[in-house]
């Protein structure tokens, strides 16, 4: 279940968030850049260090540039990203649900 602002016409509309292990993070970023235009370590708001996930991982933002994914490519890219050494998880979640329920500000619900 998601709110309506999470629904986008094409993926990705913004960089893909990828959680990685802190150990060897520079090497992991280099490996991830082969999938897109640029992979950047997400920094904390105070700029004193990287964002740390609940799993104590770092967050990388992977920019795919002008490339948009067809629906069948989302699951394929998700699997490939998760095979990169050091990757814990990514923000595509193409495997996570058989149905998506979208809640709208009006109170209406849409199911896909």
Please give the average pLDDT of every successive group of 10 residues along the chain, which has 112 residues: 75 85 96 91 92 96 84 86 95 73 87 77
Q: Which residues contact 32 (CB under 8 A, 6 or more apart)?
A: 18, 20, 39, 60, 62, 81, 84, 87
- pLDDT confidence of residue 69: 77
CATH for the 10-95 domain, from 1.10.3720.10, 3.90.25.10, 2.60.40.10, 3.30.70.260: 3.30.70.260
What does the pLDDT read at residue 7? 72
The domain spans of the chain are 10-95
């Amino acid at each position: 279940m998601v709110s309506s602002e999470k629904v986008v016409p094409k993926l990705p509309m913004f960089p893909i968030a990828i959680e990685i292990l802190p150990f060897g993070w520079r090497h992991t970023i280099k490996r991830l850049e082969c999938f897109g235009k640029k992979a950047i370590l997400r920094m904390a708001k105070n700029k004193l260090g990287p964002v740390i996930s609940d799993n104590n991982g770092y967050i990388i933002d992977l920019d795919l540039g002008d490339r948009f994914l067809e629906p069948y490519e989302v699951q394929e890219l998700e699997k490939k990203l998760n095979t990169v050494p050091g990757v814990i998880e990514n923000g595509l979640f193409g495997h996570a649900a058989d149905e998506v329920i979208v809640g709208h500000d009006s109170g209406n619900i849409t199911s896909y």
